[in-house]
Amino acid sequence: MEESNETKETKKTRAKPKMRIPEWVGVLVGLILIYAIFAIVCHKTGKPQFTSVDNMINVARQISMITIVAIGMTFVIISGGIDLSVGAVAAFSGVIAAQTLLATGGNTFLAVLMGLIAGAAVGVFNGFIVANFKVPPFIVTLATMIGFRGLAFIRCGGRPVPIEGIFLKIGEGEIFNIPIPVIIMLVVIAAGWFFANHTKWGRYVYALGGNEEASRLSGINVKFMKFLVFGMGGLLAALAGIINSARLGSGDPKEGNMWELDAIAAAVVGGTSLSGGRGMIIGTVIGAIIIGVIKNGLDILGVESYTQMLIKGSVILAAVLIDQIRKDENVRDYSIKCIPWVLGIIAGLIAKRFIPMSWGWIIVILIIAAIGVGGHFVMKSFKKK
Amino acid sequence: MFPANPFPIDKNAKLYYRVVIKMENILEIKNLEKTFPEVQALKGISFCISKGEVHALLGENGAGKSTLVKIVAGAQTADPGSEIFYRGKKVYFSTPIQAMNDGISVIYQEFNLVSYLSVAENIFLGREPLHPWGAINWGKLHDMTHQLCEPLGLHIDPGARIEELGVAQKQMVEIAKALSQKAELLFMDEPTASLTDEETQKLFKIIRDLKEKGVTIVYISHHLEEIFEITDTLTVLRDGEWIGTKPTKDVTMDELIQMMVGRKLVDLFPGRDVEITDEVLLDVRNVNRGDEIQDVNFKLCRGEILGFAGLMGAGRTEVMRILFGADKKDSAQIKIKGKDVTINSPVDALKEGLALVPEDRKDEGLVMELPVDYNTTLGNMNGVCKANFFIDHLREFEVVQKYIEEINIKTPSHHQVIKFLSGGNQQKVVVAKWLFIPSHIIIFDDPTRGIDIGAKFEIYKLMNKLVGEGIGVILISSDLPEAMGMCDRIVVMRGGRITKVLQKEEFSQETIMKYATGG
């Protein structure tokens, strides 16, 4: 008895590092499904341009700014905070960069630098207040969101500051047919992923969000980490703001509206936990792509923008609910888990016959999701009784 | 739904049957199974609990006790095929509230209190007495709390917030909360883990009172003396399997240990052969903070383990947290290896080679959402980084593997999220984490709270090994036999002051208690 126990244990502990299935695979499957459905619908309705390479690059350009902001946001959320000021920071930095450009007579390098410094400074300011005065990040960044939006307007008197010259290339230039914003986005994604998974500061961000007191007692400099995380959030927001103003040809204080919410949505769809301690950069990127693909697909199908908002909201909700079900350990039998989804698909297909609009498929998907999610919880409550 | 089967067909049929005919059973568990993503926590457990008895549930960490309790109380669900009969009826609780309404209450090992609410609000959460017009009747609420707490010896203001309380006080609040729910079947998971002997005796009196009133109590503890003192029947689990259910008086201590660990354990405390030298590793003078901590001075020599004993609130943890830079202080002069050091934060302390293994693993020791490997290396990332910044994942894997083998952490993989491990294995990860930080002095604050004999023994061995390597070890312990078995000198504290430093030959429970209580 004793001996067999021992051999069993030695066998167990002699493990080699094994590959893990990353958590973002679930989100990736969601992305592929959504893309496939749009592809089918677009081809059926005579709009095959959806699957063209040009359109893919187009989607990438559309999401590049939100993705950059969302990566900064992901770090802030993982560390247990939230940053509502990113949209205002983007506008503020865009204005600062444009004004520096005017003042220096076209020195693009200095303009970008000043814009980035301005954004990072706002971020560090957020971090400073959060770390030193223990004010909840939601409130601090709500205040800076309002304040710096105002400051952006004050700086330029409410009028967009025009941008000229090589600066514009940041927004519309291309290298080997790939837009520069997309290249910047790819660099930021790579750097963010590396930072999160391969540096000790990245590790500390997770620890901080998971348990601040334990992190402090482990000798982590909690204040510095908060400066860093919020500073990074501000820096990336500024970068996105600069790209945006270069694309528009002006530093506009009205820009960056609702960016914070889009960034949070991308992070959450990508599996980041708003309570901190959990999240993945890749997941956030996939989340941003999902939102971008939906918007692009609906645009191509000619769905009006109000309906788009409704659909976008529904998809975010569905994504989060489905993720929750995937993790629900109370119902672990997959054959049972499938029942409501099969029912949902049948109901959806029947419903499709009565919906004439070209984007009726979206409603079908939502019906499937509603029946699937609802059925899961109904089943769960029955199972217990 | 189904009447209890008087002729159960299972592998434990004989024993089961004997218990069935003896007394009325309040709880019958049949073929209980529970599978977690990577482990099977319970492998077909069957046994009965008779009405009105105090029933011990024993086993090492990871044996499945806590899981079993959670399932019975509706906090987790069992695998299909498991059956639970409560008062002769088959039950299936999907939420703790359903179980509570049927008279099943649990005092969990980990606290489930709301930090920012008061003691009274926590005890009567969701059941507050109301005025006729619907507002909370605060006067009555506080009176009820007072009536409940007084017999427990819990003399605190019902309006005090939970976050202001120490671990032991929190534990007493948990007990008060469970008692207030008028339970018929009360589970106590490690209720005495953070209590002193005196408080434990008070709790035993309460248990006996409850028993007289017909309440059935399932008592989980690693303190085997307590089992023999208070329980009538005991059930032993090992690795998720049922080992036996017997009347407590028919079992000897040795038999019990053998049932639990599956082998004989000769000594509770490993011996150590280290010479105590005059070299002072740590010299602490003038630790003060308001009225709370006054004039604490002590020395730690190379080769010894210095114990700190005292009642709860005596200031032991507070002194150590001050030394470690975790809390504010009025004054403290610290010399490490003869060198004056200034410590204002844990970062400073770790730089000077002073480590503190904190008392409360859930709140201070671990990041529960992160996996085993992240937690193990968190305190010393430089140890697994290239250029002190870039994580070397292979080196990290080797380090974690080393500790998993060395202190026998039972985990399905390095990437297992730590909250899914059992309490004892979590504690081992806490210890591993602090061992990995290179230090001259390690302070252990109640390192064996709520863990089993086997794991305790391994932690003791580790301490001895550390001392042998010339590292200073300070052990704060609420368990007197442990303090006496492990330490060379014991510092006794009371009310934030040191009342006595006892040498090894002066050790006795009575002496320590005398200085700890001032009696």
Residues of chain A neighbouring B328 (CB-CB closer than 8 A): none
In a domain, A4, yes or no: no
Type of residue at B324: F
Residue B3 has pLDDT above 50, yes or no: no
Nearest Cα neighbor of A220 from B281, B476, B293, B370 is B370
Say which of B37, B324, B366 has its CB closest to residue A214: B366
Hey, which residues 344-363 in chain B have their CB within 8 Å of chain A?
345-347, 349-351, 356, 358, 363
How far is it, in rounded angstroms, from Cα B459 to Cα B508?
Answer: 23
Q: Which residue of B has its CA nearest to A382?
A: B94
Output the pLDDT for position B265: 53
Output the pLDDT for position A6: 42
Q: Any chain B CB within 8 A of the CB of A206?
A: yes
Residue B451 has pLDDT above 80, yes or no: no
Q: Any chain A CB within 8 A of the CB of B387?
A: no
Q: Count of CB atoms within 10 A of residue B21's CB?
A: 7
Model pLDDT for residues B228-278, shown as the tens digit of each residue: 888 999 999 887 888 889 898 888 887 887 787 766 555 678 888 888 888
Output the pLDDT for position B25: 83
Task: Mark yes or no for CB contact B379/A278 under 8 Å.
Answer: no
Residues of chain A neighbouring B414 (CB-CB closer than 8 A): 15, 17
Contact B384, B399 (CB under 8 A): yes
Residues of chain B neighbouring A17 (CB-CB closer than 8 A): 393-394, 397, 414
Q: Any chain A CB within 8 A of the CB of B342?
A: no
Tell me, letter by letter, the H, E, C secondary structure of B324-351.
CCCCCCCEEEEEECCEEECCCCHHHHHH
Model pLDDT for residues B320-373, shown as the tens digit of each residue: 999 999 888 888 899 998 889 999 999 999 989 999 998 888 888 899 888 898
Output the pLDDT for position B6: 45
Block means of pLDDT (10 residues each) for chain A, 385 residues, are 42 55 80 87 85 91 94 95 94 93 88 94 94 91 94 89 87 88 95 94 93 90 94 96 92 89 91 86 94 90 83 79 65 62 75 67 74 74 54
In a domain, A328, yes or no: no
Task: Mark yes or no for CB contact A218/B415 under 8 Å.
Answer: no
- The residue among B39, B77, B347, B367 with the most chain A CBs within 10 A of its CB, best to mutate, is B367
Task: Mark yes or no for CB contact A211/B390 under 8 Å.
Answer: no
ipTM: 0.76
Question: If you compute the radius of gyration of chain A from its CA atoms, what whole number of angstroms results?
Answer: 23
Question: DSSP letter string over B64-87?
Answer: SHHHHHHHHTTSS-PPTT-EEEET
Average pLDDT over residues B137-163: 84
Q: Which residues pair with B115 in a beta bridge?
A: none
- Residues of chain B above pLDDT 70, percent: 92
CATH class of B1-103+186-263: alpha beta
How far is it, in rounded angstroms, from Cα B51 to Cα B217?
Answer: 9
Q: Which residue of B has its CA nearest to A328?
A: B37
Please state, in angstroms and as integers, the Cα–Cα distance from residue B267 to each residue in B251, B261, B306, B453, B454, following that order. Answer: 19, 13, 21, 10, 11
| Backbone angles phi and psi of A219, in degrees to 5 | 85, 20
Q: Any chain A CB within 8 A of the CB of B397?
A: yes
Residues of chain A neighbouring B404 (CB-CB closer than 8 A): 13
Output the pLDDT for position B444: 92
Residues making up chain B, counted from first to last: 519
Residue B21 has pLDDT above 50, yes or no: no
Maximum CA extent, chain A: 84
Residue spans of beta strands (DSSP E) within chain A: 161-162, 174-175, 178-179, 250-251
Q: Count of CB atoms within 10 A of residue B249's CB?
A: 10
Select from 3.60.10.10, 3.10.20.440, 3.40.50.300, 3.30.70.1900 the CATH code of B280-517.
3.40.50.300
B1-103+186-263 and B280-517: identical CATH topology: yes
Say which of A207, A277, A278 has its CB closest to residue B378: A207
Query: Which CATH number goes with the domain that contains A301?
Result: 1.10.3470
Quick one: pLDDT band at residue B147, thresholds 50, 70, 90? confident
How far is it, in rounded angstroms, from Cα A93 to Cα A148?
Answer: 10
Task: Mark yes or no for CB contact B370/A221 under 8 Å.
Answer: no
Residue B458 has pLDDT above 70, yes or no: yes
Output the pLDDT for position A240: 95
Q: Is A199 helix (H, G, I), strand (E, B) or coil?
A: strand
> What is the total count of domains within chain A?
1
Say which of A199, A273, A385 has its CB closest to residue B391: A199
* Residue range(s) defining the domain that contains residue A125: 48-322
Report domain extents, chain B: 1-103+186-263, 114-182, 280-517
Q: What is the mean pLDDT of chain B?
A: 83
How far is it, in rounded angstroms, from Cα A50 to Cα B278?
Answer: 80
Model pLDDT for residues B387-444, shown as the tens digit of each residue: 888 988 888 898 999 888 888 888 888 888 888 888 778 888 998 998 899 889 999 9
Hey, which residues 328-357 in chain A have their CB within 8 Å of chain B?
329-330
